[in-house]
Amino acid sequence: MNELVESIRKLKEEKNALILAHYYQRGEIQDIADYVGDSLALAQWAAKTDADIIVMCGVHFMGETAKILSPDKKVLVPDMNAGCSLADSCPADRFERFVKEHPEYTVVSYVNTTAAVKAVTDVVVTSTNARQIVESFPEDEKIIFGPDQNLGNFINSVTGRNMLLWDGACHVHEKFSVEKIVELKAAHPEAVVLAHPECKGAVLRLADVVGSTAALLKYAVSHPEKTYIVATESGILHEMRKKCPNTEFIPAPPSDESCGCNECEFMRLNTLEKLYECLKNESPEIKVDPEIARKAVKPIQRMLEISERLKL
């Protein structure tokens, strides 16, 4: 293992590569990355790096976003099969038809979408900035929000907006068991429930803090004396435990298993071995159709500009 880690580090230096990892990646991938962050931070780092190669340890749409923002760089993803159920729940042809049926609407899309969906979007958001970006529009602005219906419903509830929602969801966040979280709360009455807004409304109503992975981590780091029940993909626990070694973090369980954590099998496809191979071979490489990239870059840059203005 140490040898593999050393070889990856050497290759990274030789090739002037930057390794980015999402909080949902395997712990050993997070440990070797130059930066670990949420979807917004990954896009921000990808946009400003002067590395020649970006290795995106995450899922496909994250690699696409990096490539769109840095078209002259080589963007690699260790396993090209690392997809996203949420992005898959929003096929570009159907979404484009939906958008055309509502010409007076502004289109706000979650970053968990394909480049083709972003190409018919006015502004992209992540879970870190969705609320603020939606609130930056006048109150009577007609807005389509896609594809995550749970996040859309949450943003509607906290902003008082009535956005038209696409019927998409993340298969991991949909799976949390309300009953098991209630049982955990009864067993740990002092515990704070942290939940990602991709969770169903019934789970969010049990939560004390709702936020992006970065926001949930920040909350835990600033209150390390508490105990936490964590309702998001269990990869985040790696960084939480690293930053708060004396804090108890309990992963909220999914409904389809008797115990255990809720893992995204796509995020887990990236391994140290595949990371090494991908750096060595400079493959698999993310490619985005130039015409789609030309359209998709505008709503992503708009998101980055608003986020910078709001210091997010």
Q: Judged by CB under 6 A, does residue 149 bind ligand 13P?
A: no
Q: Compute the least distance from the CB of residue 309 to ligand 13P, in Å.
A: 19
Of 8 and 195, CB closest to ligand 13P: 195
At 102, list the tokens: 């509502």
Of the candidate residues 38, 64, 79, 174, the single one contacting ligand 13P (CB under 6 A): 38
Number of residues that bind ligand 13P (CB under 6 A): 9
Would you say 43 and 132 are in contact if contact means Cβ atoms under 8 Å apart? no
Q: Judged by CB under 6 A, does residue 109 bind ligand 13P?
A: no
Of the candidate residues 49, 85, 112, 114, the single one contacting ligand 13P (CB under 6 A): 112
Q: Which stretch binds ligand 13P (CB under 6 A): 13-21, 121-129, 286-294, 303-311?
A: 121-129
Residue 308 CA neighbour count, 13 Å, CB half: 11
Scan residues 247-266 and list those touching ligand 13P (CB under 6 A).
none
Q: Compute the least distance from the CB of residue 258 to ligand 13P, in Å.
A: 26
- Identify which of 149, 137, 29 has the alpha carbon closest to the alpha carbon of residue 85: 149
Of 65 and 128, CB closest to ligand 13P: 128
Alpha-carbon distances of 27 from 30, 138, 152, 267, 285, rounded to whole Å? 5, 42, 30, 11, 23
Q: Compute the least distance from the CB of residue 104 to ligand 13P, in Å.
A: 29
Q: Judged by CB under 6 A, does residue 126 bind ligand 13P?
A: yes
Q: Judged by CB under 6 A, does residue 213 bind ligand 13P?
A: yes
Q: What is the CA radius of gyration of the chain?
A: 19
Q: Judged by CB under 6 A, does residue 30 bind ligand 13P?
A: no
Q: Judged by CB under 6 A, does residue 39 bind ligand 13P?
A: yes
Q: Which stretch binds ligand 13P (CB under 6 A): 99-107, 122-130, 157-165, 247-255?
A: 122-130
Which residues are CB-neighbours of 23 under 8 A, at least 6 positions away?
A: 30, 36, 37, 38, 213, 214, 217, 233, 235, 236, 238, 239
For residue 240, how far is the Cα from the chain centroid?
A: 16
Ordered DSSP codes for 221-244:
HH-TTS-EEEES-TTHHHHHHHH-
Q: Compute the least distance from the CB of residue 199 to ligand 13P, in Å.
A: 11
Find residue 194's DSSP bridge partners.
Answer: 209, 230
Of the candidate residues 25, 49, 65, 128, the single one contacting ligand 13P (CB under 6 A): 128
- Identify which of 265, 293, 239, 263 has the alpha carbon closest to the alpha carbon of residue 63: 293
Alpha-carbon distances of 47 from 12, 68, 82, rounded to whole Å? 19, 9, 21
List own/partner pairs for 99-103 with CB under 8 A and 24 or more apart.
99/144, 102/142, 102/144, 102/164
Q: Judged by CB under 6 A, does residue 65 bind ligand 13P?
A: no
Of 38 and 239, CB closest to ligand 13P: 38
Q: Compute the least distance from the CB of residue 43 to ligand 13P, in Å.
A: 10
Residues 161-200, mask of contacts with ligand 13P (x by CB under 6 A): -------------------------------------x--
- Please tell me the distance from the alpha carbon of residue 176 to that of residue 198, in angstroms, as a whole number: 11
DSSP letter (8 states) at residue 168 = B
- Please tell me the distance from the alpha carbon of residue 123 to that of residue 223, in angstroms, as a whole number: 33
Q: Judged by CB under 6 A, does residue 127 bind ligand 13P?
A: yes
Residues at the contact surface with ligand 13P, assessed by CB under 6 A: 38-39, 112, 126-128, 198, 212-213
